[in-house]
Amino acid sequence: MMAKKHVRAIFPGSFDPLTNGHLDVIERGMKLFDELIVAVGRSPVKNQLFTPEERVEMIAELLETKNMPGVSVESFEGLTVEYAACKKADVILRGLRSLTDVQYEFQLAMTNRAVAGIETIFIMTSEQFGFTSSTLIREIASLGGDLSNLIPKNIFEHLKKKIQ
């Protein structure tokens, strides 16, 4: 009988801020993999509200309150495939919300496999989070809208402080 292989996955993103849609993917992904690293990317082209350090801190706080064994959070710079290789990840986990996501993520997954030989696993986000994006969350927050059902409570508290 063959021994079960330990499978490490990374879930990369900007998470600025992390939404309930992201959390949904994390919770479902942790059931599929032995280890899941939420990889907070640094993007020079995105206008980000929170620093990478703040995002890691908020996500770590959330993971601690949710008791999510096997899930950790780190920040990284550079190409996702290089980070995945550095972490000896077996797979990249990505969430899908819409047909637009499918087109973009399909191209990215094919490129990652061609360049680095790493597979991508997709999880469709739950229906109630299909419209949610960090960009939309930041916009609603800047206009004083209620986000309490779209982002985790601790993230909501950090966001309120940040935009005041």
Interval 117-162: pLDDT, tens: 999 999 998 888 888 889 899 888 888 888 888 999 999 999 988 8
Give me the mean pLDDT over the 25-36 stretch.
Answer: 96
Q: Which CATH number fits domain 10-163: 2.60.120.10, 3.20.20.70, 3.30.2130.10, 3.40.50.620?
A: 3.40.50.620
**From the CB of residue 31, how many other CB atoms can be counted at a distance below 10 Å?**
8
The residues near 3 (Cβ < 8 Å, ≥ 6 apart) are none
Q: Residue 36, SS3?
A: strand
The residues near 89 (Cβ < 8 Å, ≥ 6 apart) are 8, 9, 10, 37, 118
Q: What is the pTM of this model?
A: 0.92
Q: What φ, ψ does residue 96 adopt, rounded to 5°?
A: -120, 135
Interval 64-99: pLDDT, tens: 999 899 999 999 999 999 999 999 999 999 999 887
Q: What positions carry a catalytic annotation?
A: 22, 46, 97, 134
- Residue ranges per domain, the chain? 10-163
